[in-house]
Structure 1
Amino acid sequence: MRNILVIAPSWVGDAVMAEPLYRRLAERWPGAAIDLYAPAWTLPLAARMDCVRQGVVNPFGHGALRLAQRWREGRALAASGYDQAIVLPNSLKSALIPWFAGIPQRTGFVGEFRRGVLNDARRLDKTALPTMVERFCALAEDAGAPPKRPIAHPRLNVSAQAREAALQACGLSAGQPVMALCPGAEYGPAKRWPAAHFARLAQDALARGWQTWVFGSGKDQAIADEIVRLAGAPTGLVNLCGRTGLDQAIDLMSLARLAVCNDSGLMHIAAALRVPLVALYGSSSPGFTPPLSDQAEILSLKLDCSPCFKRECPLGHTHCLTQLTPDQVWPAVGRLLPDSLP
């Protein structure tokens, strides 16, 4: 049996987009044990990926070298007998663990002085592999071979028991259709649709008979509170930001009839759960990290100044999002759910 360790991404969205890689590895190597070395906050994703055996906690934060601890971590992993490591982040730090572990085949793209540390180093052709999911999946193949196409969309699976447990823990009911709102974006404010727009959309959804759940981490608490305040704190608008871990957020999101999201990790989670999705793009581009779903509508004004890929609007107005109104969202909802709007 082949044992594979994947050094997984730290960003939630990237971690979701890596799932097709794991399925391709399982297809190439039937019976392979695929483990993910990943930050603790992303391990609930691994638990909902069918081809992953287990997650192994990566204790290193962004920017932390801690060379001696990395050596100890690598030596501890050596006992697991991995045949191959696939390193998805492009940093030198991420490649050190499998090197210290003595894993025979260490695969990844060339970058940041990694030659020698990786002994199966690939050159990245950005033209041939324009999207992140293609780049990940290319690493499942032999050097020089393209990724097997078509590439399947990421998939997360949630059990009925997990859904029911999450509902009970949060005091919720799925008796009415649920619209999920995801107002956060870890990258920065230039990717966040205004709170006033989310509030107006929530009011419209409630008037149409939806209940509306706002998803996010504790970092999104302020914008979620603002949405609730601007909407008038109506019954049926539930702020879950900071109330759930990622595990419960995934399980509850799977119950949504529709999700409206910024370009964020939760957007990719909604797509992987096969929830119909309206994705809002401002400073970023759907060309590189689109929602990977057959049930997604992408809304972007495509202004001359976007995508700028900045954390904050360099022009100070964020027109790419402020001028994208809630009235423009409902036609997209109608295209996704032409016969199911309550």
Structure 2
Amino acid sequence: MKALIVAPSWIGDTVLAQPLFMRLHEQTPGLQLDALAPRWVAPALERMTEIAEIVDSPFAHGELSLRARHRLARQLAPCGYQRAYVLPNSLKSALIPFLADIPERIGFVGESRYGLINHRHRLNEALLPQMSERFAQLAESPGGSLTRPLPRPRITSSSRQRAATLAALGVDLPSRLAVFCPGAEYGPAKRWPARHFATLANALAERNYAVWLLGSAKDRAIGDEIVALASPAALPLNLCGATSLPQAIDLLAAASLVVCNDSGLMHVAAALDRPLVAVYGSSSPGFTPPLSERAKIISLELDCSPCFKRECPLGHLDCLNKLDPQRVLDACLSGVPA
């Protein structure tokens, strides 16, 4: 049996899809499960033992490129895929499996994808409140019930990979490492303020933690702001934009603890089973929680949240501005030896 996953376009969603991959292997021993994925999420899939091969999806967010999709589909047609699991709900995400003549095309109805998806699930949000559950439902027959509990995501980072990453970056692993991920690709309404991260860095430095900042090049500015606001004794190391995603995975795997906004790297840290404090503002921990028993979720649960907006519609961002660093520090140190 060969099956193709049409992967999400976000790193966090891709990690949350891993329980589906695990279920598919449980149901079909010997399954070859490949993934059609954007190149920016491919490194997360490469660290999942369930995925055999990755096919590059070169399309940008929202890009149709019908001719290019048709060419890629014709390249996949001889590969012998018997099933395709289409995880995004967009119409365009279902085009390639249809054009590649993959017999079984499984997904939610989404954007009225009748014909493109021929094993159609209808979403019941009350029965499937979490994104990971919605993905995993695709392993069941349409209308069938989801078996719980779901397996937890697990991505890999070997000691050799971690050592190679540290050597490539020219840094030594401290005895106590706190990694902060201060960015969130979705927007500022998911980002805990830089001044709060700086205050937390100062408090952890007093407890002999080195603090490293991870994120994309877009997060470099907020990383610089945290460094500028932190005390000279804390001296956070800003690695935002300085690492590839595989290197970020390895550094997270080496961390003593991780503090993240609701972001892709939060889900990566959870899948690496690191002690994790996850800060939520405009988004919902009920919908996209970190799937780890070692994760602690911090949210003020204000009446105006979750609003799921990129920017605060009320202009105050109280859900994050009023989330005190002491509360996050307490969560960081809970259960951690002094």
Q: Letter of the 1:203 partner, please give it.
A: N
Please name the residue that 2:155 is paired with: 156
Matched, 1:331 2:333: no
Please name the residue that 2:53 is paired with: 54
Q: Letter of the 2:188 partner, please give it.
A: P
Q: In 1, distance between residues paired with 2:247 and 2:143?
A: 40
Indicate the SS of the match to 2:165.
helix
**What's the CA shift for 1:244?**
0.3
Indicate the SS of the match to 1:127.
coil
State the Cα deviation string for residues 94-142 of structure 1 (Å, max 9, x = none).
0000000000100000021210011111111111111100010010122
- Note the residue ranges of structure 1 that are not aligned, 5 or more in a row: none
Write out aligned runs for 1:1-342 (5 A): 2-232=1-231, 234=233, 237-335=236-334, 338-341=335-338
Q: Letter of the 2:100 partner, please give it.
A: A
Indicate the SS of the match to 1:158.
coil
**What's the CA shift for 1:143?**
2.1
Q: In 2, distance between residues paired with 1:60 and 1:148?
A: 34
Q: In 2, distance between residues paired with 1:123 and 1:305?
A: 29
**What's the CA shift for 1:235?**
6.2
State the Cα deviation string for residues 186-219 of structure 1 (Å, max 9, x = none).
1110110000010111111111101111010001
User: Structure 1's 173 and 189: CA in aligned 2 closer, same or farther, altered over 3 A?
Assistant: same
- Note the residue ranges of structure 2 that are not aligned, 5 or more in a row: none
Identity %: 55
Q: In 2, distance between residues paired with 1:130 and 1:70?
A: 32
Q: Letter of the 1:171 partner, please give it.
A: G
Check the 8 A contact 2:211/2:234 in 1, yes or no. Answer: no
Q: In 2, distance between residues paired with 1:27 and 1:225?
A: 46
Indicate the SS of the match to 1:212.
strand
Indicate the SS of the match to 2:140.
coil
**What's the CA shift for 1:148?**
2.2
User: Structure 1's 319 and 339: CA in aligned 2 closer, same or farther, altered over 3 A?
Assistant: closer
**What's the CA shift for 1:309?**
1.1
Q: In 2, distance between residues paired with 1:148 and 1:156?
A: 22
Compute the TM-score of the two structures, normalised by the length of structure 2. Answer: 0.98
Q: In 2, distance between residues paired with 1:239 and 1:231?
A: 12
Q: In 1, distance between residues paired with 2:31 and 2:336?
A: 43
Q: In 1, distance between residues paired with 2:90 and 2:56?
A: 18
User: Structure 1's 304 and 66: CA in aligned 2 closer, same or farther, altered over 3 A?
Assistant: same
**What's the CA shift for 1:334?**
2.9
Q: Letter of the 1:28 partner, please give it.
A: Q
Q: In 2, distance between residues paired with 1:126 and 1:339?
A: 37
**What's the CA shift for 1:234?**
4.5
Check the 8 A contact 2:227/2:235 in 1, yes or no. Answer: no
Check the 8 A contact 1:46/1:54 in 2, yes or no. Answer: no
Q: In 2, distance between residues paired with 1:204 and 1:246?
A: 28
Q: In 2, distance between residues paired with 1:329 and 1:28?
A: 41
Q: Letter of the 1:330 partner, please give it.
A: L
Question: What RMSD, in angstroms, separates the aligned Cα atoms of the two structures?
Answer: 1.1
Indicate the SS of the match to 1:56.
strand
Q: In 1, distance between residues paired with 2:142 and 2:273?
A: 32
Check the 8 A contact 2:85/2:107 in 1, yes or no. Answer: yes
**What's the CA shift for 1:339?**
4.3
